[in-house]
Structure 1
Amino acid sequence: MITNLRGLLLAGAIGLAAAAPAAAQQTFYVAGYGGSFEQTMRKEVIPSFEARHNVRVEYVAGNSTDTLAKLQAQRANQQIDVAFMDDGPMYMAIQLGFCAPISSLPADDIVPAARFPGDRAVGVGIVGTGLMYNTQYFRERGWAPPTSWNDLADSKYRGLIVIPPINNTYGLHTLVMFARMAGGGEANIEPGFKAMKERVNPNVLAYEPSPGKMTELFQSGQAALAVWGTGRVASFAATGFPVDFVYPKEGTVTLLAAICPIAKANATPLAQEFVRAVVQPDLQALLAREYGYGPVNRRAPVDPAAMPMAPVGERAAKLINVDWDVINQNRDAWTRRWNREVER
């Protein structure tokens, strides 16, 4: 299958002529997630793209809010050519005019939930935000696996929990879920802050945004329970470490990993080609296998039985969506409050 993927990327850009051997090599900037996602890009996608188009790809790793901040800082002279971001920051990027329309998107093959307004971005994978736990740690202590978001408030896990901060989508989802469970929600976030401060915070070892640090905290035995995404957990489990993902009974929150070509005066046509390539069936199947994404392309050849954590099949029905219109109007204020009251 990887051979087919390489063949796809080497087959040529839609509407582009082959690069002349003597052409000067340009630099193509991709901003995206770090950790295992970055490794997959560097190993399976970037080399073929570089070879086909005679470009040097610079991968700029960072979480979604970091990438959005870079786009804002470079507004007058954008360096980034394409950007991967979570759905919330991606909606903001579109509203701020950073994303160009995608041309020749295979629209009929893309699930509707993965398409953004005006096709200015497209999903590359569906992730579920839920709970990760160390199965060996739990087994040795005779603990039953977690089943609920409320397990984060159980005092027996004091000092064993890791949650990404609110500038990371996983942390934001946690806040929204606790608000919803207490009768509030996106439009009434107060119950979420109350629960985080009074019930969850005493159990938290760290509010950690780095995927590498998250895995280190588990590998060292300091952490045993965390909020994370299906893709991250599947990649961690693939290393042989004893972790599993839990779809909480109150619901697992949808996180759509997405990509957009950056709008700028000197935009290269390769940005469009790169975006189209990552939603093709073979690459979608690769991301499903290597990273645990639920594919956004209906024609991606995946076996749900071989993807025990990914939101595919019946598991996809357990996903719930948040209201990004409301969240993005309030996110800056929530972040300031989180830093002042929760993560202090």
Structure 2
Amino acid sequence: MKRSSILATAFGAIIAASLAANASAQETLTINSFGGSYEETHRALVITPFEKMYNVKVEVVTAYSADTLAQLRAQKDNPKFDVVHFSGGLEHAAAAEDLLAPIEPAELSNYDKMYDFAVAGLDRGIGPTYSTAVIGLLYNTDQIAEAPASWKDLANPDYQNHVLFTDAASNTYGMLGLLMINKVAGGTLDDIEPGLEFVKGILPTSTVVSKSPEIQQNFAQGNAWIAPYAQDYAFTLTKAGLPVKFIQPEEGGVLAPITVNLVKGTKKRDLALKFIDFSIRAEASQGWAEALRYTPTNKEAKLSDEVAAQVVYGEDAVAKLVTFDANEIAEKRSSWNEAWSRAIAK
């Protein structure tokens, strides 16, 4: 073998060994995501750019919130996750069980750019809200020329036989919609009878469904003209070619936060905090709105007119959003489910 060939082979071996060493030394961060198109968007907006910026590997476990909470409980003394994402308010349960770690505002460079609601629980172990669905009213623009203005418009006689509710006992968005109706009707979390009475007043000429595909089916068939539900699902319907718009009523819409949380006991706290901070930057907040029509939680996110018209956006609109106590919901959900089921059975 020629000397030049020997040198080339040796040099190649050195490079390969160096690359292998770098790969083995590459830090790995373990997180969860929610699968499907959501996880694809998550990878594009946050996970892959983060890996490239910090030269790390992010191991993604596809697991919804309830499964993730169960894993955290089982791994409490030796957590496998470094960062976890929650929806449905389960971050409150995890924090109450001491499974999540508090975060200091100074540890997040994007802290001052966030809306207050998005960082309100850091000291209690509740991570930032990096995106949020909003529950308001979906309506058929072919049948309703003038957009509804209030939650009370669900009782408008013009919509009789065309109001659609989602089962509050089995659907989180359905329950949040009921709680907002109850608030507008004068109720509280200690008394949801005003909301139930409002619903019962129009239930005889309304439809109740249990799953989101049934919402699409009813709008497509012309049965549904108006329904309490989420802005991101309105986008799903418009992509399917349906004439549906979302409106935040004058009394406000309901927050359905999605949070990114620091796991207590992680051995990679610094890297985990970098990931959390990266998750709440303006570019990511903007991206969630563009891809899935979630409301930005970073005040510096800039949306086009088209996207802005389909989400709750801007300080004035965000100021009207309503949050219900997740711990209280969890505590009372069972009795509310029973009350709702009795109401719709009559």
Calculate the TM-score normalised by the size of structure 1. 0.74
Offset at residue 132 of structure 1 (A) = 0.8
The residue that corresponds to 2:113 in the other structure is 109
Call closer, same or farther: CA 1:36–1:265 in 2, change over 3 Å.
closer
Preserved contact between residue 27 and residue 58 of structure 1 (Cα < 8 Å): no
Larger mean CA deviation between 274-283 and 316-325 belongs to 316-325
Instruction: Report the 3-state secondary structure (helix = DSSP H, G, I; strand = E; otherwise coil) of the residue aligned with 1:75.
Output: helix
The separation in 2 between residues aligned to 1:213 and 1:262, in whole angstroms, is 37
Matched, 1:257 2:263: no
Identity of aligned residues (%): 26
Preserved contact between residue 184 and residue 190 of structure 1 (Cα < 8 Å): yes
The residue that corresponds to 1:14 in the other structure is none
The residue that corresponds to 2:3 in the other structure is none
The residue that corresponds to 2:206 in the other structure is 203
Larger mean CA deviation between 177-186 and 274-283 belongs to 177-186
Offset at residue 316 of structure 1 (A) = 2.6
What are the superposed Cα offsets for residues 191-225 of structure 1, whole Å, 9 maximum, x if unpaired?
223333453375124032x4x55445534555443
Unpaired stretches in structure 2, ≥5 consecutive residues: 1-20
What is the count of residue pairs matched by the alignment?
Answer: 315
What are the superposed Cα offsets for residues 19-44 of structure 1, whole Å, 9 maximum, x if unpaired?
93245996834144x67544422444
What are the superposed Cα offsets for residues 250-290 of structure 1, whole Å, 9 maximum, x if unpaired?
33223333221333566676543332221012112212322
Preserved contact between residue 122 and residue 128 of structure 2 (Cα < 8 Å): no
The separation in 2 between residues aligned to 1:128 and 1:243, in whole angstroms, is 16
What are the superposed Cα offsets for residues 296-324 of structure 1, whole Å, 9 maximum, x if unpaired?
22333445675113222343343334344
Call closer, same or farther: CA 1:180–1:109 in 2, change over 3 Å.
closer
Preserved contact between residue 253 and residue 320 of structure 2 (Cα < 8 Å): yes
The separation in 2 between residues aligned to 1:81 and 1:164, in whole angstroms, is 35
The residue that corresponds to 1:76 in the other structure is 74
Call closer, same or farther: CA 1:262–1:198 in 2, change over 3 Å.
farther
What are the superposed Cα offsets for residues 48-87 of structure 1, whole Å, 9 maximum, x if unpaired?
4566423442332x4xxxx246414651225655333347
The residue that corresponds to 2:197 in the other structure is 194
The separation in 2 between residues aligned to 1:271 and 1:256, in whole angstroms, is 20
The separation in 2 between residues aligned to 1:40 and 1:316, in whole angstroms, is 23
Instruction: Report the 3-state secondary structure (helix = DSSP H, G, I; strand = E; otherwise coil) of the residue aligned with 1:172.
Output: helix
The residue that corresponds to 2:284 in the other structure is 283
What are the superposed Cα offsets for residues 92-142 of structure 1, whole Å, 9 maximum, x if unpaired?
332222322346222222222211141531111244311112323x16xxx
The separation in 2 between residues aligned to 1:324 and 1:254, in whole angstroms, is 11
The separation in 2 between residues aligned to 1:79 and 1:160, in whole angstroms, is 46
The residue that corresponds to 1:311 in the other structure is 312
Larger radius of gyration: 2
The separation in 1 between residues aligned to 2:215 and 2:43, in whole angstroms, is 21
The residue that corresponds to 1:128 in the other structure is 134
Preserved contact between residue 164 and residue 227 of structure 1 (Cα < 8 Å): no
Matched, 1:59 2:62: yes
Preserved contact between residue 127 and residue 255 of structure 1 (Cα < 8 Å): yes
The residue that corresponds to 1:152 in the other structure is 154
Preserved contact between residue 205 and residue 223 of structure 1 (Cα < 8 Å): no
Call closer, same or farther: CA 1:325–1:331 in 2, change over 3 Å.
same
Structure-to-structure mapping, 1:1-344, within 5 angstroms: 20-22=22-24, 28-32=30-34, 37-49=38-50, 52-60=55-63, 62=64, 67-68=65-66, 70-72=68-70, 74-77=72-75, 81-86=82-87, 88-102=89-103, 104-106=107-109, 107-115=111-119, 116-118=121-123, 120-136=126-142, 138=143, 144-153=146-155, 156-158=159-161, 161-163=164-166, 165-166=168-169, 168-200=171-203, 203-208=206-211, 210=212, 214-219=215-220, 221=222, 223-234=224-235, 236-238=237-239, 240-264=241-265, 271-303=272-304, 306-313=307-314, 314-324=316-326, 326-339=328-341, 341-342=343-344
Letter in 2 for 1:248: P
Preserved contact between residue 127 and residue 256 of structure 1 (Cα < 8 Å): yes
Call closer, same or farther: CA 1:109–1:185 in 2, change over 3 Å.
same
The separation in 2 between residues aligned to 1:124 and 1:343, in whole angstroms, is 38
Larger mean CA deviation between 168-177 and 39-48 belongs to 39-48
Letter in 1 for 2:112: D
The separation in 2 between residues aligned to 1:268 and 1:26, in whole angstroms, is 12
Letter in 1 for 2:337: T
The separation in 2 between residues aligned to 1:85 and 1:128, in whole angstroms, is 16
Letter in 2 for 1:312: Y
Offset at residue 154 of structure 1 (A) = 5.2
